[in-house]
Structure 1
Amino acid sequence: MRENGVSGRPLIGVSTYLESKVSWGVWELPAALLPAGYPRLVRAAGGLTAMLPPDDPSYAAEVVARLDGVVVAGGPDVEPERYGAAREERTGPPARERDAWELALIEAALASGTPLLGICRGMQLMNVALGGTLVQHMEGHVERVGAFGTHAVKPVPGTLYESVVPEASTDVPTYHHQAVDRLGRDLVVSAYAEDGTIEAVELPRPAWALGVQWHPEMGEDTRVMAALVRAAS
């Protein structure tokens, strides 16, 4: 944890969206943006937020070296070519700058031992970074377009996730149509949905690297982010 003369709270970098046209006031411009739920959750968990907009992937290790923890946020579908698959009809348009940058952030965090949390797309990218593949479309995890739903998640005993959220079942905010298919190298499953969908993955200790398929920034439960912040301390 880096002391900055003002606060000893860990600095948590969170990746951002990159949109070609965003409107505010009289402006309509390209923008890097982050839904406000992410910095709210980091703050509630005891951390400080730094936004990490897409940049040259060669800078990722230098950026991660200045952080105490990394969060790869939710967002668009991962480009199927990243895991050797042909694009299916219901896969969304590519976000190549985000894919390249966030994969580099993940690799830098894993190489340096910096605590890492992947959220939704971020969990999927963690899996792809470690050689795994994705299911490009599934039903039942989006209640309606543009609205988060909830469903139950069950932890796997003995995992990092189970040590953070020990209840036998917890309702979580969810919105996704893709999921982990073949598990990436060294990853273990740490939670499932009731339909068998993989809902959390992690690397074995001593690494602190956890991916969750749901969106904790859209709920009131701070425990997953608080665990990242503690690890970053």
Structure 2
Amino acid sequence: MASNDSDHRRPVIGLTTYLEQAQTGVWDVPAAFLPKFYFEAVTRAGGTVVLLPPQPVDQAVADSVLDGLDGLIITGGKDVEAARYGEAPHPTNDVPRTDRDDFEFALLERAIARDIPFFGICRGMQVLNVLRGGTLIQHLPDVIGTDRYNAGGGVFTPNPAITVPGTRLAELVGGEVTVQSYHHQALDEVGDGLTVSARGDDGIIQAVDVDGMSFGVAVQWHPEMSQDDLRLFAGLVEAAAERAESRRVRA
């Protein structure tokens, strides 16, 4: 019996986007966009991408969006508003993007509740931690004394991430990886239900797993900038495909 194309559907992965002023041709307008590196990594890993711009949201809207997805990626971007974890903003912090914060917090809360495979990248890990009641180091140079994680000017810097044995992250990438960093903030107090899965050689938290999820991984670095190593994206896509297949069989 010939197989049906629907049996081999590529899992649909939603990626959150930026909302910034953008110029193209004669137009200079606010626009939602996402660097190609993100969705190229997902498609190369076997997924189909849907881009998710910041928009008004409540639980019903979040669930409606997630109904069409097999997996979710919260991408990098501007700093999470410090008031969300009860602190005054550091002078170096970005101007808050409250519309994006609202949208991503709502999506992620419902994705965790529904066990929809989730991958957080840089800001995405910080959103996760604050959502679960954690806090952030607002400016790493104040703590570690260097700019090793943020050279500025769009230049990513290589740093080691040493994984914790037994975590999902360690299963995916092994004991230590060299990662591409571009962040001036990092996790401080770890939120509820999160397990640290990697640290830098200076002790800074580099990744966490979400306890109890079939796939819940977040990293502080930018794996989309290492297109020759798609293991994290492949892990998400595989988990999303398994979830999609399970839903298809039950339908």
With the shorter chain as reference, the TM-score category is over 0.9
Question: Could you tell me which residue of structure 2 aligns to residue 12 of structure 1?
Answer: 13
**Aligned: 1:171 with 2:178:** yes
1:89-168 matches, within 5 Å, as 89-139=91-141, 140-166=148-174, 168=175
TM-score (norm. length: structure 1): 0.95
Q: Which residue of structure 2 aligns with residue 185 of structure 1?
A: 192
Give the Cα separation in 2 of the matches to 1:197 and 1:4.
45
Local SS of the residue matching 1:90? coil
Counterpart mapping for 1:20-99 below 5 A: 21-58=21-58, 59-99=61-101
2:11 partner amino acid: P
Q: Which amino acid in 1 is paired with 2:170?
A: E
Letter in 2 for 1:161: L
Q: Percent identity, please.
A: 44
Deviation beyond 4 Å, 4+ runs, structure 1: 3-7
SS of the residue corresponding to residue 101 of structure 2 reads helix
Cα pair 2:12 2:49 within 8 Å, conserved: yes
Q: Which amino acid aligns with 1:51?
A: L
Q: Distance in 2 between matches of 1:34 and 1:197?
A: 27
Give the 3-state SS of the residue equivalent to 1:57 in structure 2. coil
What amino acid maps onto 2:203 in structure 1? G
Q: 1: distance between equivalents of 2:94 and 2:31?
A: 20
User: RMSD of aligned C-alpha atoms?
Assistant: 1.5
Aligned residue identity for 2:12 = L
Residue by residue, what CA displacement relative to the aligned partner does 1:71-109 show, whole Å, maximum 9, x if unpaired?
000000000001111111111110100000000110010
Q: 1:224 aligns with which of 227, 232, 238?
A: 232
- Cα distance in 1 between the residues matched to 2:195 and 2:8: 35
- After TM superposition, the structure 1 stretch with the greater mean CA deviation from structure 2, 202-211 or 155-164, is 202-211
Q: Which amino acid aligns with 1:117?
A: F
- Which whole-Å CA distance do the structure 1 matches of 2:5 and 2:190 have between them? 39
Q: What is the rounded CA distance, in whole Å, between the counterparts of 1:118 and 1:156 in structure 2? A: 18
1:152 CA drift (Å): 0.9
Q: Distance in 2 between matches of 1:61 and 1:154?
A: 35
Deviation per CA, 1:40-64: give whole Å up to 9, x if none. 0001111000000011221111101
TM-score w.r.t. length of structure 2: 0.88
Which structure 2 residues correspond to residues 206-225 of structure 1 after superposition, within 5 A?
206-220=213-227, 221-225=229-233
CA contact (8 A) 2:112 2:213 kept: no
Structure 2 residue runs without a partner (length 5+)? 142-147, 242-251
Contact 2:214/2:239, CA 8 A, preserved across alignment: no
Q: Is the 8 A contact 2:92 2:139 kept in 1?
A: yes
Paired amino acid for 1:17: Y
Larger helix proportion, structure 1 or 2? 2
**CA distance in structure 2 between the partners assigned to 1:133 and 1:225 by the alignment:** 26
Deviation of residue 7 (structure 1)?
5.8
Give 1:116 shift. Answer: 0.6
Label 1:226 to 1:91 Cα distance change in 2 as closer, same or farther (>3 A): same
Deviation of 1:25 after TM superposition, in Å, equals 1.3
In structure 2, what is the Cα distance between the partners aligned to 1:7 and 1:120? Answer: 31
- 1:5 CA displacement: 4.8
Unaligned runs of 5+ in 1: none
Q: Which amino acid aligns with 1:138?
A: L
| Aligned-partner SS, 1:229 | helix
Contact 2:117 2:213 in 1 (8 A): no
Task: Provide closer, same or farther for how the CA distance between residues 125 and 169 of structure 1 changes in structure 2, counting only shifts above 3 A.
Answer: same
